[in-house]
């Protein structure tokens, strides 16, 4: 069953509160080389079928996704439509069907809205909820 954006957001918040952000050499990233399962994956990598496969197959123009952490940059890449289709295919079935902009905002919330396991920027959460018509009152932090 497909998860709503509200469910994905809440589970992502719970994931970060439990595991912290996915970091390597001080940078946020989709996953690290030592990611086992999805416990050390970021807000987007957590929802991918296989983050390492996504790195190798889904984004041909990008050579090193371990340090690539901004879905929004996809808008600037030549062949954007093809990449978005490939991005969708990389998500687990429960996470498919949501706009790329949702994933962009979710990743941004992951990257700068947290310090370790503590949310430090409520404004980004509010922005995400407003932009995607998510009821902020249904999200617990």
In a domain, 140, yes or no: no
Q: Which residues, in sequence order, are CB contacts of 122 under 8 Å at separation 6+?
A: 141
In a domain, 11, yes or no: yes
pLDDT at 44: 81
* Distance from C-alpha of 114 to C-alpha of 49, rounded to nearest angstrom: 24
DSSP string for 38-85: TTT--TTGGGBS-HHHIIIII-TT-S-TTS---GGGGGGSTTHHHHHH
Segment holding 122, helix H or strand E: helix 122-131
Q: Is the pLDDT of residue 77 over 50?
A: no
In a domain, 139, yes or no: no
What pairs with residue 23 in β-bridges? 28
Task: Match 């001080």 to its residue by tokens.
Answer: 26
In terms of residue numbers, what domain contains 66? Answer: 5-134
φ, ψ of residue 115 to 5 degrees: the values are -125, 115
In a domain, 141, yes or no: no
Count: domains in the chain: 1
In a domain, 33, yes or no: yes
Q: Label residue 108 by pLDDT band (50, 70, 90).
A: confident
In a domain, 19, yes or no: yes
With a pLDDT cut of 70, the percent of the chain lying above it is 62
Give pTM, 2 decimals.
0.77
Q: Label residue 68 by pLDDT band (50, 70, 90).
A: very low
Q: Encode pLDDT of 117-131 as tens digits.
A: 889 988 989 999 999
What pairs with residue 119 in β-bridges? 114
Q: Label residue 94 by pLDDT band (50, 70, 90).
A: very high
Tell me the average pLDDT across 34-46: 68
In a domain, 15, yes or no: yes
Tell me the average pLDDT across 34-60: 64
């Amino acid at each position: 069953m497909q998860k709503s954006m509200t469910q994905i957001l809440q589970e992502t918040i719970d994931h970060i509160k439990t595991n912290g952000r996915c970091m390597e050499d001080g940078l946020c990233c989709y996953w690290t080389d030592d990611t086992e399962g999805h416990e050390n994956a970021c807000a987007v990598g957590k929802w991918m079928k296989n983050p390492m496969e996504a790195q190798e197959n889904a984004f041909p123009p990008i050579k090193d996704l371990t340090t690539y952490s901004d879905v929004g940059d996809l808008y600037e890449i030549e062949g954007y439509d093809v990449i978005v289709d490939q991005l969708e295919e990389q998500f687990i079935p429960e996470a498919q069907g949501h706009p790329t902009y949702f994933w962009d905002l979710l990743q941004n919330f992951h990257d700068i809205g947290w310090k370790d396991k503590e949310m430090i920027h409520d404004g980004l959460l509010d922005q995400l909820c407003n932009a995607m018509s998510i009821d902020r009152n249904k999200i617990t932090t």
